[in-house]
Structure 1
């Protein structure tokens, strides 16, 4: 695959250890409603505890009708960044890029360059591809080299009472109800999921991880 220069289009979501959740729904004006808009980033230990699961969700607030036609943007690269030496610079990346109904993955591997610009590391020995699951279809999961991969629409798992939150900010409410109203109930996201053995990203040591979406320029 030809190497392609990619420039960053959205802000970094989060830095986390092995268990973390970060969310960025409907509050990034530069990409709001766009195909590069990251809604959530999740990082946690897998059911197989020697593995780490990384999930990036994009294109939030999709209604069922919108989900049926939603697609990953072929001009947007999703890049999972992994810092193994606590200097807040990525030492490894796992890149995901869609093409013709499939999601191609490269990594974990050392990035061609760090920072805001990226090049798809198509020369990585760790490479995989999975068919993108269609809306309403059974999940397609592929396994390559001990890693597992998925890409496709999923129900938005993020629970947040946005209306009460705005009332609290405005000084009209003092706290949330229990359990409150889920603003995102009934909406979907496009998910990219990678499960990777910890041994491939630094073993049992603490890492930092974050995700970026980057648009081809």
Structure 2
């Protein structure tokens, strides 16, 4: 799977689907030259309906941007949701941090928008304020995969597990200069909660389907709490062994292959067309890419194609399913 159920034993992080970061996308705006689209999807309640569609109130959902290649955040957008009201409505406040504040876990920096209504109906609530275009709400999950087939030793069912599922989607469209002068940026998402006065990361990721395939169950919480800058030292040797086992890679070959995904930062050279692993479009078949990666090309894909409800314009994800 992409980044759904990224806690131990195919459970959501911290045993709460609302805290599950599910996907990260980055591509050039098809409508506005010189603008970049960033989408962070969350809340895997489709697998745990009891969690409900509302994001976790007070948690910090953070999208980090490395603008200089040092694997530390130089720009960050943080999103903090209110408690749902009696009618089921909810709002979100958006923060923009740069410099040292961008590398912190709490929601710091400038408040760009306060108490923006989250959309739960078919029409997105698109807000334009200064250089920021924003839409936050319940949308059709764009991820596609035969998860049952993957879990059954790659015996394909022909069914898209994600068909009919919804997520909370946070979509931004910003001018390129907001993300740094260089066209090359790195991105990752994170979900942080406050525990005993400390901000604790319960989920994080950028590349699809890494922790599900590479980390043993007892290592997933530590991975979610970690920093991308430490990934190579902490995980390369263990992940080399995974690739040796799953794909018959030679050790040197595996180490080279892992340079694409370690550290766990989604690289996006905006001077080149987006397409995973250079950024990620909503219709990129990342499931096939990961299956080919772990199997060293022996498994070509699951036969599932992109969803047909994607929109040609902002916020690009389809309307939510009933």
Scaled by the length of structure 2, the TM-score of the pair is 0.51
1:81 aligns with 2:64: yes
Contact 1:94 1:109 in 2 (8 A): no
C-alpha spacing 1:32/1:185, structure 2 compared with 1 (3 Å): farther
Query: Partners of 1:81 and 1:113 in 2: how far apart?
Result: 7
Paired position in structure 1 for 2:33: 49
Give the deviation of 1:79 after TM superposition: 0.7
Q: Would you tell me which structure has more helix in proportion to its own residues?
A: 2
Contact 2:106 2:192 in 1 (8 A): no
Give the deviation of 1:66 after TM superposition: 6.4
Give the deviation of 1:204 after TM superposition: 4.8
1:103 aligns with 2:92: yes
Give the deviation of 1:87 after TM superposition: 0.8
1:118-137 aligned at under 5 Å gives the runs: 118-122=105-109, 124=110, 127-129=112-114, 130-134=116-120, 136-137=121-122
Greater RCO, CA 8 A, separation 6+: 1
Rg larger for:
2
1:182 aligns with 2:154: no
C-alpha spacing 1:119/1:201, structure 2 compared with 1 (3 Å): same
Query: Partners of 2:15 and 2:145 in 1: how far apart?
Result: 18
Q: Would you tell me which structure has more strand in proportion to its own residues?
A: 1
Give the deviation of 1:35 after TM superposition: 1.5
Query: Partners of 1:58 and 1:206 in 2: how far apart?
Result: 25
C-alpha spacing 1:33/1:216, structure 2 compared with 1 (3 Å): closer
Query: Partners of 1:156 and 1:131 in 2: how far apart?
Result: 20
Residue 153 of structure 2 aligns to a residue whose secondary structure is: helix
C-alpha spacing 1:61/1:97, structure 2 compared with 1 (3 Å): closer
Query: Partners of 1:98 and 1:150 in 2: how far apart?
Result: 14
Paired position in structure 2 for 1:93: 76
Query: Partners of 2:141 and 2:68 in 1: how far apart?
Result: 33
Give the deviation of 1:111 after TM superposition: 4.3
For structure 1, which runs of at least 5 residues remain unmatched after alignment? 1-21
C-alpha spacing 1:84/1:60, structure 2 compared with 1 (3 Å): same
C-alpha spacing 1:195/1:66, structure 2 compared with 1 (3 Å): farther
Contact 1:108 1:200 in 2 (8 A): no
For structure 2, which runs of at least 5 residues remain unmatched after alignment? 84-89, 196-322
**Aligned-residue CA RMSD (Å):** 2.5
Query: Partners of 1:27 and 1:72 in 2: how far apart?
Result: 16
Superimposed CA distance per residue, residues 61-99 of structure 1 (whole angstroms, 9 cap, x where no aligned partner): 428x869x5212112111110101111111111111112
Query: How many aligned residue pairs are there?
Result: 182
Give the deviation of 1:27 after TM superposition: 3.8
